[in-house]
């Protein structure tokens, strides 16, 4: 599995998603998000730019919930939202 480009990812005014390259300079990850109305393209660009942060947050929340369930003998590791979270993480990580 190839790991995604490290964040933080940012969004410029032209809807290019940028991230630091190996030299630390910003370079385009996504060359201008298009499609739909300008408002929809902006919303899609914001979502793409936030995706590394969302992945980290989801993984952290899932780990915390699982630890809480284990420490308190609650079980339930296969509840609906945990299954969806694990599936989303797998989809993002390949």
In a domain, residue 5? The reply is no
In a domain, residue 19? The reply is yes
Print pLDDT tens along the chain (94 aa): 578 887 789 888 888 899 888 787 888 888 888 888 888 988 999 999 999 999 999 999 999 999 999 889 888 778 899 999 999 999 999 8
pTM: 0.81
Structural domain of residue 73, as residue ranges? 10-93
User: What's the pLDDT at 64?
Assistant: 94
What is the distance between the alpha carbons of residues 18 and 7, in angstroms, rounded to a whole number?
9
User: What's the pLDDT at 47?
Assistant: 92
Q: How many domains does the chain have?
A: 1
Residues 6+ away with beta carbon under 8 Å from 52: 4, 6, 7, 8, 9
In a domain, residue 51? The reply is yes
User: What's the pLDDT at 1?
Assistant: 58
User: What's the pLDDT at 6?
Assistant: 79
Strand partners, 26: 20
In a domain, residue 60? The reply is yes
In a domain, residue 4? The reply is no
In a domain, residue 1? The reply is no
User: What's the pLDDT at 52?
Assistant: 92
């Amino acid at each position: 599995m190839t790991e995604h480009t490290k964040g933080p990812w940012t969004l410029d005014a032209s809807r290019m998603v940028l991230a630091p390259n190996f030299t630390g300079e910003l370079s385009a990850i996504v060359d201008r998000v298009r499609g739909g109305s300008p408002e929809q393209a902006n919303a899609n660009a914001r979502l793409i730019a936030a995706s590394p942060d969302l992945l980290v947050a989801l993984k952290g929340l899932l780990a915390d919930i699982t630890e809480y369930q284990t420490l308190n003998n609650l079980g339930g590791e296969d509840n609906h939202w945990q299954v969806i979270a694990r599936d989303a993480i797998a989809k993002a990580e390949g």
